[in-house]
Chain A
Amino acid sequence: MAAPALLIFGVFALIPLFGVVALSFVHWDGLGDITWAGFDNWQTALTDPVSRNALWLTVQLTILCVAFQAPVSLLLGVFLAGRQRHRAFLGVLFFLPLLFSSAAVAITFTALLDPNFGAGSALNVALLSQNWLGDPDLALFVVVFVIGWSFIPFHTLLYQAGTRQIPKELYEAARIDGAGPFDQFFRITLPMLKYTIVTSTTLMTVGSLTYFDLIFVLTGGGPGNATRVLPLDMYLTGFRSYDMGRASVLALVLIAVGLAIALGLNRITGTSRMGGRGEGI
């Protein structure tokens, strides 16, 4: 039964992967002759300050993304799982960004953040007319914000579903024992959401390794190299500098890091041994 899936995986994932491994050992600019490079590409790619910076930026981006998205989507998800008035309406509003394509989001934000013709000058709010995407110290945070804006709805959805799965009896019992909303959140909701948190954080972490389209359209890696994260560095090296060998090395580094993180998270959090969550019932 697994044959079709394996075939597709082989043709579209494994064979190209071997192609990339082979390419990482040659010099090739996409046009001329392919020449053997040995470990040249590996050496230059791993010692190049731009690529090292890209790796460091990717780490920063991952940490910032998780730090921003996880709490916000957790709170939003728990809020939306409740029974407040207008909840359905607010829910629809919150989920809208999920429907937009990354490129459209990036183009829209570029226009909104334009210091001269963007939201700041339209609404006449000087605070919004910053050099958002042009200041090397600000740009990464703006990128984190826009990524968060587009992906928080998805994680909110996970948390909302997770929260709704928590048996009401737990809350009723807690209320009888005199637990307030804070105690209920920290002692019931949060522990019961453990596996949702693991899933959502894994997705965020692995996802931030591959953010490309949004950053590419939003900043193109600039200003300078301030937002040139690893996937973007790979693309620019491969398809702007046409250095396929080095780009392949970066691609392999990306695969290795992604796999390591996914497996590591899985092991630490014990998702593989996931059991039921009906404790206390």
Chain B
Amino acid sequence: MKLGTRRRTLLAAGAAAPFAAASACGNEPGGSNGDGATAWGLTGGSEEAMRSSFEAWNDANPDRQISAEYFANDAYKERIRTAVGSGNAPTLIFNWTGSTLADYVANDYVVDLTDGTRDLIDRVIPSVADAGTIDGRVYAVPNNQSQPIVFYHNLEVLEEAGTAIPETWDDLMNAVDQLQSAGRTPIALAGQSVWPELMWIQYLSDRIGGPEAFNRVLAGEAGAWTHPDMVAACERITELVDAGAFGDAFASVSADAGADQALMYTGEAGMILQGSWIYPDVVSNAPDLVESGGVGYSTFPSIEGGAGELSNIVGNPANFWSVSANDSEEAQQIAQDYLSEMVLNDDHIDSLIEVGTVPPIVDLEDRISQSDMGEYLLFTYEMVRDAGHFQLSWDQALPSGQAQSLLENLSQLFLGEQSAEQFAESMDATL
């Protein structure tokens, strides 16, 4: 049974009140005031690049201002859903594409951007542009850097333990043994934050079964999680945990304050699988180690007999802007013009490279290699450019209910509270 819109709005207001009482006071979304456009972005990361992009637009367009507000990640994710659902969204909606964008599109909350952003999309690396495209139409365009997941190594520690950057699964297991004998935690993992554990299952399932392994889950096929490839990926995780690859206290390590990367650059741990965004922090926290060439980076090891290409990567292709369909025509037009003129233009690209990130735009090799962290940035840029498949992080790709169950069950798999089969079966139940 479907309820009418009026009742929906009333219920929405009722629902928002008890939960979001704290966030309800404070800034009002200025979407429908007919006075320019609004945008909500995220703090940290490439916030500065985004700020200067808006400032440049506002300077050039005094009559067509865009006012932007910035929120912390978790707070934003909760806020934006209530705002979009109740018709109070900002004109420019920051998002991760995936299931949320699909929901927006299915409910007509965002507008089709295909015609207005052709020039921009032509410059975007195709595997990244794909993320914002649904049924051949563009509903979201990238607004910052690509964030692939990279395997980092403390080369000093690896050398001391008599091992090297692992290229295959066997190499990896050997390195784990060697590092353990040398008294180090082989791989740093922020188990308390859980989401870094996703990176492991994402890469493992891709290497073993190729992108199809997860595409079956996305398509909601019955038994997608108990498919042999997926179960095999989970068994590798159990194998790693049992071998002590993550040490015995990984569930106490949180990624929020970067304790996991600190383990790697202080030499407590040999390796870490993390997002490309940690590198600038590593550079500023361990400048000597980086300068002496002590920090290595590589793609995820290959798995013998696996179906996935070595070039396949996982992570966030980028973050994206969508334009709210509930705002005034005028605001929508301002937002669309901003997207086609300012987003990922030369200045924006420069400011992104400057903070040590890679914009998902083609033909940037020269500009990137000339920057301060040129070598590393070129490595991640080529990873993205040459990616056979760029898998969006599963917690974004899946509908939120399934994503939450995934995180809960995955954490239990890593803790050894669930076997690979139990994990697969509980996940099958969510499909």
Asked whether, in the complex, the Cβ of A116 is within 8 Å of the Cβ of B401, the reply is no
Residues of B within 8 A of A116 (CB): 249, 253, 259, 262-263, 268
Interface residues of A in 1-43 (CB under 8 A from B): 12, 15-20, 22-23, 26, 28-36
Asked whether, in the complex, the Cβ of B18 is within 8 Å of the Cβ of A30, the reply is no
Interface residues of B in 7-65 (CB under 8 A from A): 7-8, 10-11, 13-15, 17-19, 21
Other-chain contact of B15, A23, A36, A131 (Cβ < 8 Å): A23
Residues of B within 8 A of A131 (CB): 248-249, 251-252
Asked whether, in the complex, the Cβ of A114 is within 8 Å of the Cβ of B253, the reply is yes
Closest CB in chain B relative to A143 CB, distance in Å: 13
Asked whether, in the complex, the Cβ of A20 is within 8 Å of the Cβ of B18, the reply is yes
Residues of A within 8 A of B328 (CB): none
Asked whether, in the complex, the Cβ of B81 is within 8 Å of the Cβ of A220, the reply is no
Tell me, in angstroms, the Cα distance from A210 to B408 when the chains sit together. Answer: 22
Q: How large is the interface on B (under 10, 10 to 19, 20 to 34, 35 or more residues)?
A: 35 or more
A97 interface residue, CB < 8 Å from B? Answer: no
Asked whether, in the complex, the Cβ of A117 is within 8 Å of the Cβ of B262, the reply is yes
Interface residues of B in 163-192 (CB under 8 A from A): 191-192
Other-chain contact of A16, B17, B251, B412 (Cβ < 8 Å): B17
Residues of A within 8 A of B104 (CB): 31
Residues 61-94 of chain B, each 1 if its beta carbon lies under 8 Å from chain A, else 0: 0000000000000000010011011000000000
A113 interface residue, CB < 8 Å from B? Answer: yes
Residues of A within 8 A of B11 (CB): 19, 22-23, 26, 28, 34
Q: Which residue of B lies closest to A117 (CB)?
A: B259
Interface residues of A in 211-233 (CB under 8 A from B): 219-220, 222-225
Residues of B within 8 A of A235 (CB): 19
B363 interface residue, CB < 8 Å from A? Answer: no
B417 interface residue, CB < 8 Å from A? Answer: yes
Most chain A beta-carbon contacts within 10 A, residue among B107, B252, B400, B417: B252
Asked whether, in the complex, the Cβ of B15 is within 8 Å of the Cβ of A244, the reply is yes
Interface residues of B in 268-318 (CB under 8 A from A): 268
Residues of B within 8 A of A28 (CB): 11, 15
Other-chain contact of B400, A34, A223, A241 (Cβ < 8 Å): A241
Closest CB in chain A relative to B373 CB, distance in Å: 25
Closest CB in chain A relative to B256 CB, distance in Å: 8
Residues of B within 8 A of A26 (CB): 3, 11
Tell me, in angstroms, the Cα distance from A28 to B13 when the chains sit together. Answer: 13
Asked whether, in the complex, the Cβ of A222 is within 8 Å of the Cβ of B404, the reply is no
A162 interface residue, CB < 8 Å from B? Answer: no
Residues of B within 8 A of A35 (CB): 1-3
A88 interface residue, CB < 8 Å from B? Answer: no
Q: Which residue of A lies closest to B411 (CB)?
A: A224
Asked whether, in the complex, the Cβ of B249 is within 8 Å of the Cβ of A111, the reply is no
Interface residues of B in 381-411 (CB under 8 A from A): 399-401, 403-405, 408, 411
B103 interface residue, CB < 8 Å from A? Answer: yes
Closest CB in chain B relative to A85 CB, distance in Å: 41
Interface residues of B in 228-276 (CB under 8 A from A): 248-254, 257, 259, 262-263, 268
Closest CB in chain B relative to A53 CB, distance in Å: 11
Residues of B within 8 A of A113 (CB): 252
Closest CB in chain A relative to B314 CB, distance in Å: 21
B219 interface residue, CB < 8 Å from A? Answer: no
Tell me, in angstroms, the Cα distance from A168 to B238 when the chains sit together. Answer: 66
Q: Which residue of B lies closest to A118 (CB)?
A: B252
Residues of A within 8 A of B1 (CB): 35-36
Asked whether, in the complex, the Cβ of B252 is within 8 Å of the Cβ of A34, the reply is no
Contact A23:B263 (CB < 8 A) given known A222-B251, A242-B400: no
A149 interface residue, CB < 8 Å from B? Answer: no
B364 interface residue, CB < 8 Å from A? Answer: no
Contact A31:B81 (CB < 8 A) given known A114-B253, A241-B401: yes
Asked whether, in the complex, the Cβ of A18 is within 8 Å of the Cβ of B14, the reply is yes
Residues of B within 8 A of A247 (CB): 19
Interface residues of B in 401-429 (CB under 8 A from A): 401, 403-405, 408, 411-412, 415, 417
Tell me, in angstroms, the Cα distance from A117 to B106 when the chains sit together. Answer: 47
Residues of A within 8 A of B403 (CB): 240-241
Contact A136:B415 (CB < 8 A) given known A19-B11, A19-B15: yes
Asked whether, in the complex, the Cβ of A16 is within 8 Å of the Cβ of B18, the reply is yes
Asked whether, in the complex, the Cβ of A222 is within 8 Å of the Cβ of B194, the reply is yes
Q: Which residue of B lies closest to A245 (CB)?
A: B15
Closest CB in chain B relative to A35 CB, distance in Å: 6
Residues of A within 8 A of B103 (CB): 29, 31-32
Closest CB in chain A relative to B157 CB, distance in Å: 14
Asked whether, in the complex, the Cβ of B18 is within 8 Å of the Cβ of A251, the reply is yes
Most chain B beta-carbon contacts within 10 A, residue among A50, A116, A134, A219: A116
Contact A32:B107 (CB < 8 A) given known A116-B268, A134-B253, A241-B405: yes
Closest CB in chain A relative to B368 CB, distance in Å: 33
Q: Which residue of A lies closest to B418 (CB)?
A: A224
The chain B residues found within 8 Å of chain A, CB to CB, are: 1-3, 7-8, 10-11, 13-15, 17-19, 21, 78, 81-82, 84-85, 103-104, 106-107, 109, 191-194, 248-254, 257, 259, 262-263, 268, 399-401, 403-405, 408, 411-412, 415, 417
Inter-chain pairs besides A29-B400, A36-B3, 4 sampled, C-beta below 8 Å: A19-B11, A31-B104, A225-B412, A240-B404
8 inter-chain pairs at a CB distance below 8 angstroms, sorted by A residue, are A19-B18, A30-B85, A31-B84, A32-B106, A114-B254, A117-B259, A224-B415, A242-B401
Give 10 closest A-B pairs by Cβ, nearest first: A19-B14, A134-B251, A134-B252, A36-B1, A16-B17, A115-B249, A131-B249, A241-B404, A223-B251, A241-B401
